[in-house]
Amino acid sequence: DSGVTQTPKHLITATGQRVTLRCSPRSGDLSVYWYQQSLDQGLQFLIQYYNGEERAKGNILERFSAQQFPDLHSELNLSSLELGDSALYFCASRQTGTPNTGELFFGEGSRLTVL
Amino acid sequence: GQQLNQSPQSMFIQEGEDVSMNCTSSSIFNTWLWYKQDPGEGPVLLIALYKAGELTSNGRLTAQFGITRKDSFLNISASIPSDVGIYFCAGLASGGGADGLTFGKGTHLIIQP
C-alpha cells in the first residue's frame, strides 16, 4: 500500500461526457502528480500541483483540468470525453521537505473506459 | 522535451532466465530510476542510481548508471513468475516539468512457465 488513494477504480462512460477522478496523497506529501497511461504511450505526465498551486504542466489537453484543495487532495476533471481518452489515470505524490530523489508514490489508478 | 528510449518493448522469457533491459536518452540525467508496475497496480520504485558509473543491486536486480549519464540498464537474474509486469526507467534532471522526472514507455516482461 503506497498510501496514495484514488477513486473510482473503474469508470465507464460515454463520449461527450465529463468525469472527475479523485486522489488523496500520502499523509504529509504536498506534491501531487497526474499521469495518463495508455498501451502505446507509457506513462505520460499531465500536471503537477504543490500545496494547492499548479507547478508544472505536461501533455494535458485543454479539455482536462485539475486542482488541489486545501486538504491537499486533488481532482482531475476530464470533459467532452473521446474514445481516445480511455486509459489508466494515475496519481502520485512525493515526500516533501527532502531533496528530490525522483521517488514517487503511485496510487492504484483509475481505469477510464469511454464508449 | 526530454525523451527516454526504453528497450525492448516486451520480452517473453522462460522462468529461470536472466533478463536485461535498457534505457537511453539524448539528454543528460542526474539520477536514473527503475520502477516496476505489477498488473492492476501503480508503479513502485525498485532501484535509484545517483552517480555516473554507479552499479546498484536489490536482490536479484542490478542496475547501472551509464558513464555518459545518458543511459541505464536493468538486469534481473533467475527470473521467477512474480517478476511479471511492466518495468519503467525514469530520468531526473534539473528543471523541466514534473520536477524534472521523465519516464520511458516501459518494458513488458512476460514469463512462460
Of A31, A43, A103, the CB nearest to B88: A43
Which residues in B27-66 are b (16+ Cβ under 10 Å) and which e? eebbbbbbbbbeeeebbebbbbbeebebebeeeebbbbbb
pLDDT of residue A42: 85
pLDDT in tens, B19-58: 999 999 999 999 999 999 998 899 999 999 999 999 999 9
C-alpha closest to that of B32 among B93, B75, B97: B93
Q: Are the Cβ atoms of B42 and A92 closer than 8 angstroms?
A: yes
pLDDT of residue A99: 75
Residues of B in contact with A90 (CB under 8 A): 42-43
Q: Are the Cβ atoms of A42 and B105 closer than 8 angstroms?
A: yes
User: How many CB atoms neighbour CB B110 within 10 A?
Assistant: 11
Are the beta carbons of B91 and B4 closer than 8 angstroms?
yes
Of B40, B48, B100, the CB nearest to A103: B48
pLDDT in tens, A54-101: 999 998 999 999 999 999 999 999 999 999 999 999 999 998 777 778
Q: Are the Cβ atoms of A108 and B48 closer than 8 angstroms?
A: no
Residues of B in contact with A94 (CB under 8 A): 99
Of A33, A90, A102, the CB nearest to B31: A102
CA–CA distances in Å: residue B62 to residues A43, B13, B49, B88: 23, 18, 11, 14
- The minimum CA-CA distance between B54 and chain A, rounded to whole Å, is 15
